[in-house]
Structure 1
Amino acid sequence: MVIRRNHYDAAFEAYLRAQKIPYVAVDEKRRALAKDASIKSLDFIVYASQGPNLLIDVKGRTEISPNQNQSRRWENWATLEDIQGLQQWQELFGNDFVSGFVFAYQLPENSISNSLEKLFEFRGNLYAFYLVKIDEYRQKMKPRSESWQTVFLHQQDFQELRNPVDAIIQA
C-alpha cells in the first residue's frame, strides 16, 4: 500500500482493498520513461475479474450544488497531459488493458445524491466512484481552458459514458 496524501486516491485504494480486488498502486513521485520521453504517472493498475484490466488515473472532485435540494454538477475535467499519458499507457500495456479516469466524488452527508449513488465510506466521508474509459472521453471531450490545457465532458455526455466502478471491475 502506497502512502497517499490525497484522500481521493486513498479512498479509492481502500475501496479496492475492501472489495478484495487485485491492484498495483503506482508511485506517483516518479515519472516513467518510454521511448526517450516521460509519461505522466497513472495511479493504479487494477486487475478485473472479467474483461480488460484497467489503467487508472483518479480524479478527485467534490459535489457542486447550490443547495442540498438541487441536483449537482458533476465536475469531470482533466488536463491534456492526463489524456495523453493514459493513452500512452494503454498503448504500452496492449490489448488486455484499458485506460480510464476514475472520478472520485466526495459527497456531503446531507446530499440528496446519497440515496441515488452507490457509496463507499472512508474516514467518515462518503465517496462515489465512476469510470470513464479514455477512448470514450477523448471522443466527446471539449476544451475547458486553453491556458490551463484542460478539457471536460458536457453533463449529458458524462452521464452517458460514466460507469460505476464496481460494475466494470466486478462484472
Structure 2
Amino acid sequence: MAMQRKGQNDYERAFEGLLREEGVRFKRVDQTHRCVVGQGEVKTFDYLLYPRRGGCVLVELKGRIFEGDTLAGRRRLENWALAEDAAALARWQERFMAETSETEAVFVFAYRINKIAADADGLAVYDDNGRRYVFLAIRLQDYRRCMKRRSPRWKTVTLSAEDFRRHSFCAERIWLGLQNIDE
C-alpha cells in the first residue's frame, strides 16, 4: 500500500498511483497558499503533468462517487466544479502559455465506483487499495464553453450530461498525447 501524504485524499492517492504506474512525470502543486499571478491572488491547480509527447498539462482534480450500475452513456456522472476553479485554471494556462505554447489545462474527474458489480462500459478502471476508479478528463476550453451555473449560493458550475459525454475522454489519453483525444 502506498504511503498517504498528510492532507492527501483517496482520489489524489489513486490518481498519483495511476500516474506512477503509467510512468508519467508529475508534480503535485502546493495547495496551502494562493499564488500571485499578475494583479491578484489565484487559486492553484492540483497537478502539473509532463506527458511523453512534451509540453505540460495543468490538472484540476475533482473526486466524485459513482453509485450507479453502469457507466454506459456516462449518465449521472457529477461534473460540477467551483466557478473559481475554471477561472483560476484559465489564468494559470495563460501564464504557462507565455513560457511554452505546449500547455494544456484539463479537469480530471476521478469517479470512485462504489458498486462492486457496476459496469465500467469499457473504460479503464484503476484499482487502489480495494477501491475502483475511473478517470475522465475534459479540456478546460470545452468545459468553460459549455458550463452552466449550478448553484449561485455555492458558486458552482456544471455541464449537461450531453456536453460531458461529447467532450470527456479517458484521462490516460493526456499522457498518451492530447492531439489524439478526438480519434
Q: TM-score, normalised by structure 1?
A: 0.90
* Larger CA deviation: 34-43 vs 139-148: 34-43
Amino acid at match of 1:128: V
The answer to whether the 8 Å contact 1:2/1:27 transfers is no
Q: CA deviation at 1:48?
A: 1.3
The answer as to 2:158 corresponding to 1:152 is yes
Alignment-derived partner of residue 136 in structure 2: 130
Alignment-derived partner of residue 88 in structure 1: 91
Shift in alpha-carbon separation, 1:149–1:69, aligned structure 2, 3 A: closer
2:46 to 43, 46, 50: 43
Gaps of 5+ in 1: none
Cα-to-partner distance string for 1:67-96 (whole Å, 9 max, x where unaligned): x37965110001110011100110000022
Q: CA deviation at 1:114?
A: 3.0
In the alignment, the residues of structure 1 paired with residue 4 and residue 28 of structure 2 have an alpha-carbon distance, to the nearest angstrom, of: 6
The 5-angstrom pairing of residues 4-153 of structure 1 reads 4-50=7-53, 52-65=55-68, 68=69, 72-94=75-97, 95-153=101-159
Q: CA deviation at 1:53?
A: 2.1
Shift in alpha-carbon separation, 1:117–1:75, aligned structure 2, 3 A: same
Q: CA deviation at 1:105?
A: 0.4
Shift in alpha-carbon separation, 1:111–1:77, aligned structure 2, 3 A: farther
Shift in alpha-carbon separation, 1:139–1:111, aligned structure 2, 3 A: farther
The answer as to 2:168 corresponding to 1:162 is yes
Aligned-pair identity (%): 31
Pairwise CA RMSD of aligned residues? 2.0
Q: CA deviation at 1:100?
A: 1.1
Q: TM-score, normalised by structure 2?
A: 0.85
Shift in alpha-carbon separation, 1:151–1:27, aligned structure 2, 3 A: same
In the alignment, the residues of structure 1 paired with residue 150 and residue 132 of structure 2 have an alpha-carbon distance, to the nearest angstrom, of: 28
- Corresponding residue pairs, total: 169
In the alignment, the residues of structure 1 paired with residue 71 and residue 36 of structure 2 have an alpha-carbon distance, to the nearest angstrom, of: 45
Q: CA deviation at 1:52?
A: 4.5
Q: CA deviation at 1:113?
A: 2.5
After the TM superposition, list the runs of 4 or more consecutive aligned residues in structure 1 that deviate by more than 6 angstroms.
none
In the alignment, the residues of structure 2 paired with residue 69 and residue 50 of structure 1 have an alpha-carbon distance, to the nearest angstrom, of: 33
Gaps of 5+ in 2: 178-183
Shift in alpha-carbon separation, 1:92–1:118, aligned structure 2, 3 A: same
The answer to whether the 8 Å contact 1:64/1:74 transfers is no
